[in-house]
Structure 1
Amino acid sequence: MNPFPLEAFVAGLPWAALGVALVLAATYAVAVQAGDGGQARHSVMDVAWGPGFVVVAIITFVLSAGEGDGGRRVLLLALTGIWGIRLGMHIGRRARGGREDPRYTALLEKARGSRNAYALRHVYLPQGLVMFFVSLTIQVGMFATGPLGPLAVVGTAVWLTGFIFEAAGDRQLEQFKNDPARRGTVLNTGLWRYTRHPNYFGDAAVWAGLFLVAAESWPGVLTALSPALMIWTLAAKTGKPLTEQAMSGRPGYRDYMQSTSGFIPWPPRRH
């Protein structure tokens, strides 16, 4: 097995960072154009989140040609692309014609002076840094030289489980919201019977799977903090906590929280 091409990997880092910066710049321009009443709609950042990782994957796939293992490069590109494009299309479809996300409204109400300048500092810059750091799993994996093996198979299975949970959970929630008869109630069927956040759990599993694919060959295992940051964000920072804070006042949600697992799927409890 050839040694890890450290020089080529380091030389590719600025190009990946540039890709993230271009995604953020394009998203900011769209946010300004999509706004109404003279205010930009910065929640379009959510639409660009998944595709941003796809851009990084494409850049590092090109740069790692002739350096990393071909099978792993193709696998990482395919898994990242399928996940990121589906997520971007889903959020884009959900946000079409809507208004600013309440989470962004609450954040931007803290602005003193230019609302857009505040968004650049507190929305785009932090999310860009997180995107670059989390994508290190993909970047390192693209340059890894070891062949695919059993751990890559396990990683792909974990990714597939997560993708199914995320896609099916999003679909079930979309159907629930489109049913007038269930307006004001709590979704507690399908995957939502076993976890209050099948989409967030699925996202976490997707990144755990990508990490396993990268970790099979040195130094992919050193990127463990990248998926850990993503999972922590989903489970304990901006994903699950903010969603449950917004839902806590809905009738029946407290009972739903008592009976249903908060993150990892598990049979519902009796209470």
Structure 2
Amino acid sequence: MGTVLDSHFLALTAIVTVVYQFIFFVITALFKIDQVTDFAGSTNFVILAVLTLVLNATWHFRQVVLTLLVVVWGLRLGTFLLMRILQWGEDRRFDEMRQNLVKLIVFWTFQAVWVWTVSLPLTVVNASDGGGSLKPADVIGWTMWVFGFLIEAAADQQKLSFKNAPENRGKWCDAGLWRYSRHPNYFGEMLLWWGIFVAASPVLEGAEYLVIFGPVFLTLLLLFVSGIPLLEASADKKHGHLGAYRFYKKTTSPLVLLPRGVYGNLPRWCKEVFLFELPFYSSNLPEEADI
């Protein structure tokens, strides 16, 4: 794959992403609505996947499969999030942004960066000639995607059903996969995008391996910025005074799916070093509730 082709595809996907996100930014800024935000992010992945496949038109089996995987993920997540926000009416994440244009601009800029960056492995694959015959890495990556997709989809649906049940109002979700992870949906999303990178690796050469920044960026985003930290802080604020919640948090993995009997008996250092139980995830708990 030539560097000229690389740069053209990277520039094109960047322009398309910025334009697409700008359109939805204008809609949200003018009408002060939240309903299209997550839909805009998810469907942008679909647009980039299909666009790069069609424009290069080499139609290698590896390219078609990876494109289909991203399209299925984007449409499933986008539809789910759209239906959920239409049901709930508004997204509390944007309570401070609706009347603050600067914060809104920062958010939409960050969303554009997220889409373009995480899409990099597929963009490079679709800009190539397909990379020859299939390799074990293809099957490994596809398998990772399947498990990640199923985990994320199941976790999303389980939490939505839990929240919609009147008897669960005001409670934290510990049903289904949420018994084994405090954020199984994020675990699934990380796993499937790392799977995309692994399946893309047979095509990569030299500096192209820098597209690993896509799944790395997603992982760092969910672990340190807009994913787990925000939800942990919110849950701690609501439920941190309850002993049952503190026990749930102490015995339930923050990310990786593990039985409570296993995770709850691990030493604190092991949880922090290997299982992402980062100290600031509990910074909003009362001191006596240290986990």
Name the TM-score, length of structure 1 as normaliser.
0.87
Q: Is the 8 A contact 1:137 1:211 kept in 2?
A: yes
Instruction: Answer yes or no: is 1:75 the counterpart of 2:65.
Output: yes
CA distance in 1 between counterparts of 2:94 and 2:40 reads 15
Could you tell me how far 1:214 is from its partner in structure 2? Answer: 0.9
Could you tell me how far 1:97 is from its partner in structure 2? Answer: 5.2
1:259 to 248, 251, 266: 251
Report the CA distance shift for 1:43/1:258 in structure 2 as closer, same or farther (over 3 A): farther
Q: Is the 8 A contact 1:23 1:52 kept in 2?
A: yes
The match for 1:19 is 16
The match for 2:77 is 87
- Matched residue count: 255
The match for 1:158 is 144
1:224 to 212, 234, 237: 212
The match for 2:159 is 173
CA distance in 2 between counterparts of 1:175 and 1:258 reads 24
Could you tell me how far 1:44 is from its partner in structure 2? Answer: 3.1
1:116 to 81, 95, 101: 101
Name the TM-score, length of structure 2 as normaliser.
0.81
String of CA shifts for 1:12-46, please: whole Å, max 9, x gaps.
Answer: 2222112212321232243246x4xxxx1256322
CA distance in 1 between counterparts of 2:229 and 2:246 reads 14
CA distance in 2 between counterparts of 1:160 and 1:9 reads 28
The match for 1:55 is 47
Q: Is the 8 A contact 1:247 1:253 kept in 2?
A: no
Instruction: Answer yes or no: is 1:188 the counterpart of 2:178.
Output: no
String of CA shifts for 1:165-186, please: whole Å, max 9, x gaps.
Answer: 1000001001101111122222
The match for 1:205 is 191
SS at match of 2:203: coil
CA distance in 1 between counterparts of 2:18 and 2:39 reads 15
Once the two structures are aligned, what percentage of the paired residues are identical?
A: 31
Q: Is the 8 A contact 1:194 1:267 kept in 2?
A: yes
CA distance in 2 between counterparts of 1:126 and 1:84 reads 18
CA distance in 1 between counterparts of 2:190 and 2:35 reads 21
SS at match of 2:95: helix
- Map 1:30-41 → 2, pairs under 5 A: 30-32=27-29, 35=31, 40-41=32-33
Q: Is the 8 A contact 2:159 2:175 kept in 1?
A: no
String of CA shifts for 1:133-188, please: whole Å, max 9, x gaps.
Answer: 22111111212331321101000000001000100000100110111112222222
SS at match of 1:184: coil
* Residue range with higher mean Cα deviation, 80-89 or 137-146: 137-146
Could you tell me how far 1:257 is from its partner in structure 2? Answer: 1.0
CA distance in 2 between counterparts of 1:183 and 1:206 reads 31
Report the CA distance shift for 1:123/1:258 in structure 2 as closer, same or farther (over 3 A): same
Higher relative contact order (CA 8 A, sep 6+): 1
The match for 2:123 is 139
CA distance in 2 between counterparts of 1:20 and 1:57 reads 12
Which runs of no fewer than 5 residues in structure 2 stay unpaired? Answer: 266-291
Equivalent residue letter for 2:190: A
SS at match of 1:263: coil
Which runs of no fewer than 5 residues in structure 1 stay unpaired? Answer: none
Could you tell me how far 1:51 is from its partner in structure 2? Answer: 0.9
Report the CA distance shift for 1:158/1:164 in structure 2 as closer, same or farther (over 3 A): same
Q: Is the 8 A contact 2:53 2:126 kept in 1?
A: yes
CA RMSD of aligned residues (A): 2.0
